[in-house]
Amino acid sequence: MTSKQTIVLVEDDLELNQMISGFLQEEGYLVTSIYNGNDAVGAIVNQNPDLVILDLMLPGIDGIEICRRIRTKYINPIVMLTAKDDDLVEVASLQQGVDNYLNKPIRPHVLLAHVQAALRRSTISVKPTNPVNLVVQDITLDPESLRVTLSDESLDLTTGEFELLAVLMENAGLPVSRDKLYKLTQGIEYDGLDRSIDLRISNLRKKLNDESPPYRYIKTVRGKGYLMSKR
């Protein structure tokens, strides 16, 4: 008998928490509901669930601070929910290791699709059977150790940034569309609204010391997406 996957839901809106929890339980998940930020860190670290659904604005500490505190101890997916449409907040969330950033209100079946995709990605080993380092210019990506170096200096990347960089390096010299990047890194079709790819590209450029055009590494190809330059 297959054990049920576990989810910790951190949402202070009682009605919304119960609605999401009930829906996910009907879909076969074991859900623990938390209603404030102060209780969330301990619950997540102690339970180590398969996935966390985390509201941004909470009583006590907020969702971004929760991510910051747990990310060194918790490696599974985090889906952030927020009613605040703010690029800076979204960037901060992604930098703290959030896997998906979804705006409220969100339809239950859309949330379920993101939950299922995040869980699928987390259960598939990112280490290939015959791991081969990817090398483009002075960037080296080791899929076995999950390490990226720039001129032999190690880079601190989030899981989402690592996956995105890996796809670009595998297709070096070829433009890759946002739709394809989203499908390969998120596991679901691009809805045309999610900005996480563009924000992760911006974060990657910053960590590669390549923030100003003309870009040395990740180039924007108008109408076609992004391209990892071979030189």
Q: Does one domain contain both 119 and 141?
A: no
Both tokens of residue 225?
A: 């997406």
Give the per-residue pLDDT at 84: 73
pLDDT tens digits for range 184-194: 887 777 776 67
* Other C-beta atoms lying within 10 Å of the C-beta of residue 4: 12
pLDDT tens digits for range 62-93: 999 999 999 888 988 899 998 876 677 777 77
Enter the pTM of the model.
0.70
Both tokens of residue 43?
A: 């619950």
Q: Where are the beta strands (DSSP E) in the chain?
A: 6-10, 30-34, 51-55, 78-82, 100-103, 134-136, 139-142, 147-150, 153-155, 175-176, 218-221, 225-228
Share of the chain above pLDDT 90, in %: 58
Both tokens of residue 59?
A: 């009583």
List all residues 6 or more positions away from 221 whose beta carbon is below 8 Å from its beta carbon. 175, 227
Parallel, antiparallel, or unpaired for β 30-34 and 6-10?
parallel
Q: Is the pLDDT of residue 10 over 80?
A: yes
Phi, psi for residue 36 in degrees, rounded to 5: -150, 160
Give the per-residue pLDDT at 8: 97
More confident residue, 128 or 142: 142
Give the per-residue pLDDT at 125: 41
More confident residue, 166 or 122: 166
CATH assignment at residue 190: 1.10.10.10
Q: Does one domain contain both 92 and 17?
A: yes
- Of 2-6, 8-12, 22-26, 204-208, give the lowest mean pLDDT range: 2-6
pLDDT tens digits for range 22-69: 999 999 999 999 999 999 999 999 999 999 999 999 999 999 999 999
Q: Is 60 contained in some domain?
A: yes
Give the per-residue pLDDT at 127: 44
Please tell me the distance from the alpha carbon of residue 197 to that of residue 200, in angstroms, as a whole number.
5
Please tell me the distance from the alpha carbon of residue 7 to that of residue 49, in angstroms, as a whole number.
5
Q: Is 90 contained in some domain?
A: yes
Range of the domain at 77: 6-123
Parallel, antiparallel, or unpaired for β 134-136 and 139-142?
antiparallel
Q: Is 209 contained in some domain?
A: yes
Radius of gyration in angstroms for the set of CA atoms belonging to the chain, rounded to a whole number:
18
Q: Does one domain contain both 118 and 142?
A: no
**Average pLDDT in the chain:** 88
* Other C-beta atoms lying within 10 Å of the C-beta of residue 162: 19
Both tokens of residue 177?
A: 């569309």
What is the tally of helices (H) and strands (E) in the chain?
A: 8, 12
